[in-house]
Amino acid sequence: MTGDEAPRASPDALLAAAERETRGKLRIFLGAAPGVGKTFAMLQAARAAKAGGLDVVVGLAETHGRAETEALVAGLEILPRISIPYRGRLVPEFDIDAALRRRPQLLLVDEYAHSNVEGSRHAKRWQDVQELIVAGINVWTTLNIQHVESLNDVVQRITGVRVRETVPDTALQKADEIILVDLPPDELIQRLAEGKVYVEDTATRAVQSFFKPSNLTALRELALRRVAARVDSDLLERMQGSAIEGPWAAGERLLVCVGPDVAAERVVREAKRLADLLDASWFAVTVERPGRAVAAGERSRLEAGMRLAESLGAETRSLVATDIAAELLRFSRFENVTQIVIGKARLRRRFRIRTSLADALVAEADGVAIHVVTAETPERPSKLRARLRLPPLGGIAGYVAALASVGLATLVGRGLTEFVALPNVSMLYLLAVLVPAIRYGVWPAIFGSAVSFLTYNFFFIDPIGTFTVARPHELLALVIFLSVAVLISTIAGRAREQTRAAIRRIRATRRLYEFTRKLSALPDGASVAEAATVEIHATLGRAAVILLEKAGDLAIAAAWPPEDRLDTASMTAARWAFDHSEPAGAGTGTLPNAPWRFAPFSGASGSSPIGVIGVERPSAGDAGFDAESETLLATLAEQTAAALLRARLSTEVASARTAAETERVRNILLASISHDFRTPLASILGASTSLLDYGDDIPEATRRDLLGHMRDEAEHLDTMVRNLLSMTRLEAGALDLRRDWIDVAEVLNRAVSAARKRGATQSFTVDTATDLPLLFADPGLIDQALANVVGNAVRYAGPSAKVTLSATADDEMLEIAVTDDGPGIPPEALPHVFEKFVRAARTSGDGGDGSGLGLAITKGIIEAHGGTTLALSPVPGRDAGARVLLRLPLGTPPDLEG
């Protein structure tokens, strides 16, 4: 953000505010010590809230037998506790399920740090509270300062007592409001003496050990500091969420500017000491100027200073700006920084031609204190170039090119002056200066300027052939020429360096873009890991490896150049990096002698690592990565992690879809079978029961009719079972064809006869050519396929429809057509009629709706014979009706082939 831009709200602060709106609110009554009245204060506030119309429920309140506290609980709704068996007895605990069912507007849950008994859903009560908050329930709870995890060691040193039940600081940070409950030490000790905290014997021992005035005073200070830090954090978040710039001096926040000089580490240590004195959070910031090349020594000092700051607890940031002072002040306003620490400029006053950083900050800072750290002994660089921080001298090729360019300009100038009187030959030399400046940098260009100055004087200024100058105005022109040449060469050289830096960044950005696009197209995690290692190797010029978690351990997923194993030290570093979510190996503080450097990566911020990326150190003398390589490696790791997570999620989604489809098919099949089998089974059961109970009284004709009906229904069941078995064999590819010669006219007539036996009321017509050839196919399967098609027509065409079965043949194929004049197939269902479990609304029936497998089985049987199926609706030449075509190859028996 430049100085002309309006302040913008922090996206992180806005997201945090949006997240709070979707969950319950947590208020913690924080006590400086036991007995200060946390539960009492919470119950008092709860009674006031209930009087205001709020639905208040006591989930759990520990009164410890105190009459005043018990009186406050009276009249409030109390959730019954749940009894959990533990070591032969029942232990009453907070019932989180009852609280979730009750869902009050406000729930009181005492003792935030309490450890739940074994067998509870959560090990700690603060975890119960977090689940309630996520469910949208507002919770009030209590906590003593000695139970905060980060203060555990401090409390032990103060009181000599190790507190076993602690709450992590992250759980405390989730509180929307913290209310400090406190009493002066003398008053608290008096309450102890009166038995208002513990019984008499326990109170006496407590005063002699924990409740000493010095201990209580120290605990009060810890509580006050923690609440003050929370207030400062809330203030900063509200400022950033509302786009309000600081500083607001409600709490100290410190910033140290780390530079590439030798005093960087000393400045960082001074800033740490100042932050400790102020008990302030602090930032370590480095500002990079676009286009400015940083020498290797400066880069290493800068990185060492930033690593030191991070190890001392600073939050590190890297900024980019041309105006360092303005960028530091912008960052300070955004982060509510109140004090800035910088190092003193190394340049002496006589060499400083522009305002120092300290002067610029003091001139522009408003409400921010500036601390300047001076060096213990002034640094005296022996070389002017080192003092002036000039660019490197470059190679010999640049100086040769400068000489050649000046020589060419001299030849051209001499040639032109032989024919034309040129008033200003110096322009040619200015052009000659630009060539080495653009191609080789600043110093070759300055060298070219000096040579041009001498050459121009020698060849073109009277007296020619000497370095003397006859007229004063020509000397002035010569000096101006030299100044302009040096200025042009310097500007051109710096423009070249900035262009090269911009090109490097563009190439890096393009590589990252292409890498991201490539990852997005890869189908699985193995391909992603392989592409990532190739890209890291190409970008950093070092061997790369990716290890992913497998069966509880790390295994190599990809490496480039290909590698199938790592040495013991490297694997130890990789496991440490994975387990602790921190870099390990070469160039780090953990296992620095390992030949590889490993960094963990995860799919989302704050989540557990899913693997580690390793980069090999080329040699033992390599100190590690520079900041640019670190940033590039981190970016590649993030992209790789996102792609791996996407691939994993895609696999899980595909598996879930397969499982869902399998479950859907299973449910449809069960529903179809249960429905379709029920009707014929009910008919068989009814007829058989009648024959058994009234057999002697039933007339013979009726008895035969019942037996025939039982046979028909049993045949129907047999058909459905054969359909199911056929579908199973078709999907398994195990359909066995037993071919024989078939008279197709007989097949059509058998299909019509079977339909009429099943009670079909439609009129049927069989139309076949007189010279129809025989078909070489499986008779039973063809009968089943045609019966399914005819049954489908009977089921959906209507009771008075006309159904025509016809067969025609050409030299190679025989075509069977089943046509009806019913309402036809709905257009949306027509493309799917041969799929499993596809059924349309039935207008008439034959005793069952069918399982939706008939036409799918028909298609499978016909295709197993090498044929095809086709459904048409409406029938060509009509406005309605449906036609199903079965095309089969006529076939040749094995003994006639050849």
Scan for tokens 């603060």, then name that residue. Answer: 126
Contact by Cβ (8 Å): 316, 306: yes
What is the tens place of the pLDDT at every residue in 47-67? 999 998 999 999 998 887 778
Q: How confident is the model at residue 701 (pLDDT cuts 50, 70, 90)?
A: confident
CA–CA gap between residue 820 and residue 881 (Å, rounded): 5
pLDDT at position 270, please? 85
CA–CA gap between residue 545 and residue 617 (Å, rounded): 12
305's CB contacts (< 8 A; 6+ apart) are: 258, 259, 264, 265, 267, 268, 284, 286
670's CB contacts (< 8 A; 6+ apart) are: none
CA–CA gap between residue 857 and residue 456 (Å, rounded): 98
Q: Across residues 682-705, what is the average pLDDT?
A: 82
**Parallel/antiparallel/unpaired status of strands 369-373 and 339-343:** parallel
Beta bridge pairs of residue 26: 139
Scan for tokens 């947590």, then name that residue. Answer: 26
Q: Count of alpha carbons within 13 Å of 733, Cβ hemisphere only?
A: 0
56 Rama sector, left if φ>0, alpha if ψ -120 to 50, beta otherwise: beta
Helix (H, G, I), strand (E, B) or coil at 290: coil
Which of 156-165, 484-493, 876-885 tops mean pLDDT? Answer: 876-885
**Range from 23-27, 286-290, 724-728 carrying the lowest mean pLDDT:** 724-728
531 has pLDDT over 60: yes
Beta bridge pairs of residue 406: none
Q: Across residues 273-301, what is the average pLDDT?
A: 77
Which of 10-19, 257-266, 349-358 tops mean pLDDT? Answer: 257-266
Contact by Cβ (8 Å): 262, 373: no
CA dihedral 732, 733, 739, 742 (to 10 degrees): 70
Contact by Cβ (8 Å): 848, 791: no
Tokens of residue 477, six digits = 């022109």
Contact by Cβ (8 Å): 611, 601: yes
Q: Count of alpha carbons within 13 Å of 229, Cβ hemisphere only?
A: 14
DSSP state of 79: P
537's CB contacts (< 8 A; 6+ apart) are: 543, 544, 560, 561
Give the rounded distance of the alpha carbon of 645 from its chain centre.
Answer: 7
pLDDT at position 348, please? 46
What is the tens place of the pLDDT at every residue in 119-149? 787 888 888 898 898 888 999 999 888 888 7
For 877, phi and psi rounded to 5 degrees? 90, 0
CA–CA gap between residue 618 and residue 633 (Å, rounded): 16
What is the tens place of the pLDDT at every residue in 416-455? 777 666 666 666 767 777 677 667 666 777 777 777 777 7
Tokens of residue 253, six digits = 């926040």
CA–CA gap between residue 110 and residue 34 (Å, rounded): 13
884 has pLDDT over 60: yes
Tokens of residue 48, six digits = 């006031």
**Range from 230-239, 440-449, 591-600, 690-699 carrying the lowest mean pLDDT:** 230-239
Q: Across residues 166-194, what is the average pLDDT?
A: 79
Tokens of residue 733, six digits = 């590819």
Residue by residue, what is the 3-state secondary structure of 116-146?
CCCCCCCCEHHHHHHHHHHCCCEEEEEEEHH
Q: Across residues 530-542, what is the average pLDDT?
A: 81
CA–CA gap between residue 436 and residue 396 (Å, rounded): 12
388 has pLDDT over 50: no
CA–CA gap between residue 26 and residue 141 (Å, rounded): 8
pLDDT at position 537, please? 82
Q: Which residue has the higher pLDDT, 484 or 806?
A: 806
Q: How confident is the model at residue 869 (pLDDT cuts 50, 70, 90)?
A: very high
pLDDT at position 626, please? 61
Q: Across residues 679-692, what is the average pLDDT?
A: 81
Contact by Cβ (8 Å): 570, 549: no
Count other Cβ atoms within 10 Å, centred on residue 560: 19
Helix (H, G, I), strand (E, B) or coil at 77: strand
pLDDT at position 420, please? 63
CA–CA gap between residue 203 and residue 580 (Å, rounded): 43
Which of 205-209, 664-668, 843-847, 855-859 tops mean pLDDT? Answer: 855-859
731's CB contacts (< 8 A; 6+ apart) are: none
**Range from 134-148, 341-355, 372-386, 500-514 carrying the lowest mean pLDDT:** 372-386
Query: In a 10 Å sphere around its CB, with 0-12 CB exposed, 13-18 middle and 19+ buried, how is residue 107 labelled?
Result: buried
CA–CA gap between residue 322 and residue 333 (Å, rounded): 18
Q: How confident is the model at residue 622 (pLDDT cuts 50, 70, 90)?
A: low
Q: How confident is the model at residue 107 (pLDDT cuts 50, 70, 90)?
A: very high
What is the tens place of the pLDDT at every residue in 301-354? 888 888 778 877 788 888 888 788 888 888 888 887 889 998 876 544 444 445
CA–CA gap between residue 289 and residue 35 (Å, rounded): 58
- The per-residue b/e assignment along 261-292, b for 16 or more CB within 10 angstroms, e otherwise, is bebbbbbbbbbbebbeeeebbbbbbbbbeebe
153 has pLDDT over 60: yes
Tokens of residue 299, six digits = 């880069």
Question: Measured on CA atoms in the order 687, 690, 696, 702, is the torsion positive or negative?
Answer: negative
List helix spans (H) across 420-471: 426-440, 442-460
**Parallel/antiparallel/unpaired status of strands 596-601 and 584-585:** antiparallel
Q: What mean pLDDT, rounded, does the chain reach?
A: 76
Tell me the pTM.
0.40
Question: Measured on CA atoms in the order 519, 524, 525, 530, is the torsion positive or negative?
Answer: negative
Contact by Cβ (8 Å): 832, 838: yes
Q: Across residues 518-527, what is the average pLDDT?
A: 77
**Range from 195-199, 264-268, 685-689 carrying the lowest mean pLDDT:** 195-199
559 Rama sector, left if φ>0, alpha if ψ -120 to 50, beta otherwise: beta
Contact by Cβ (8 Å): 774, 743: yes
DSSP sequence for 551-563? TTEEEEEEEES--
699 has pLDDT over 70: yes
For 868, phi and psi rounded to 5 degrees? -135, 160
CA–CA gap between residue 687 and residue 705 (Å, rounded): 9
**Range from 7-21, 435-449, 782-796 carrying the lowest mean pLDDT:** 7-21
Residue by residue, what is the 3-state secondary structure of 736-766?
CCCCEEECHHHHHHHHHHHHHHCCCCCEEEE
% helix, strand, coil for the chain, step of 5: 50, 15, 35
pLDDT above 90: percentage of residues in the chain: 9
Contact by Cβ (8 Å): 325, 361: yes
pLDDT at position 45, please? 92
pLDDT at position 249, please? 44
